[in-house]
Chains A and B, each alone.
Chain A
């Protein structure tokens, strides 16, 4: 089945076009910070608790906070129902996502404590680790945890020989290569980089540049999500009592 026909992909997008993306912050009551991301049909919820005491205490790092991260998929999130028990993929993703966010957080500010981050995939259509990082960054900022920058994330890849941005599930499965990237745009630092598939040197460079461009676009949506609440109140309140 051809995945790219006359510059249009299976869902009608152009090669360098992102799926429609929507981000909301602060939607869960109990969590210290939370965010919800919809990217195309992918739906992700992220929540942060902390920094807080780590029990048992002997597991703590005396020099910095621990970032504990759990990436998990709901049994109803995929085409075929999946077991809620963590798979090897879930465990690997939990680790790379943690490594993607650690450089952004001032962990040394809170030695011996833990920051718990939970990412739940409610519906999966590809790009869940990137959308998870996008949601997690907003949740961390929403929790008031000090950060160097927000971390944005987006995948690029090769599908039917074309370098494309933001692969959906079908493109990831049937395409030739997938490259998820996480990036801190203000600092120009890449904090997650993975690739599987086959790419020439030149294709690799083009894909990386494209993924970074995608990250920069998504970064703006993350910023809007954080500003939205305050600006809405400003508009609401600004009219009265002037």
Chain B
């Protein structure tokens, strides 16, 4: 019911409250500065897609669907499959999202999720070639934001990862006449599992997993993706503020710590689920 103005106005008393609480080392929802909201997930929610996962980080809800189809490879890499990541900030998800083609926020989100997957070489695209130069597998990863309560990047990256982890690849038979689906499926083996951790700078404080309120008052944010072997594979600074080098170092430390935590408590549970 709040009006959809181009720029959301945050109530000053709310902003002051956030800053006051932060100065005492706490956040509005009672979390510590380096604490994530509860993360819940469900895989295989869209049975007809080749892979899917819904992730909740607090109330932020993102659904990713993976579709695998046959298509032409890029001319400069004729023997590799293609990974395409797309993100939609659905108008369902927030009074500030308008219907229409992806805006700069949706495009940034898609590209940040893509970057981590690509740099970490999560999928061996070489294994997705059917007929070099002619037919390869196209891996479409569609990130669908269903509710925006802050930190879309981490929720999206995680849901894309879980969808890929549990995706099944259709097995094709290659003959002189072309390629045909055999009706069989095999799991998509991932070579790496990067986890993205986003931190927001509010005044002098750095908070992990910013809520919507915190994003509205933050100066800037930094998203850092760490892969299974403890290497940084993607970084993105967002927002119109700045970070000093010491703050960046602190963020990298936090990213290593929290990505390990998420790897243990979420990613490793996917096999069991």
Contacts and interface: CB of A to CB of B under 8 A. Distances in A.
Contact of B92 (A51, A80, A120): A120
A216 interface: no
A75 interface: yes
Interface in B210-231: none
A41 B49 CA distance: 12
Contacts of B93: 28, 30
27 contacts: A28-B93, A30-B94, A30-B95, A45-B92, A49-B91, A49-B95, A50-B1, A52-B2, A52-B95, A53-B4, A55-B3, A70-B91, A74-B88, A74-B142, A75-B65, A75-B86, A76-B46, A76-B66, A76-B142, A78-B48, A81-B69, A81-B140, A85-B101, A118-B99, A120-B144, A120-B146, A123-B47
Nearest to A94: B99
Given A30-B94, A49-B95, A123-B48, A76 B4 contact: no
A70 B91 CA distance: 9
Contacts, number: 99
Interface residues of B, number: 37
A77 interface: yes
Nearest to B51: A76
Given A32-B1, A53-B3, A41 B142 contact: no
A100 B65 CA distance: 30
A49 B131 CA distance: 49
A52 B49 contact: no
Contacts of B148: 30
B250 interface: no
Interface in B47-96: 47-49, 52, 59, 61, 63, 65-67, 69, 86, 88, 90-95
A122 interface: yes
B140 A75 contact: yes
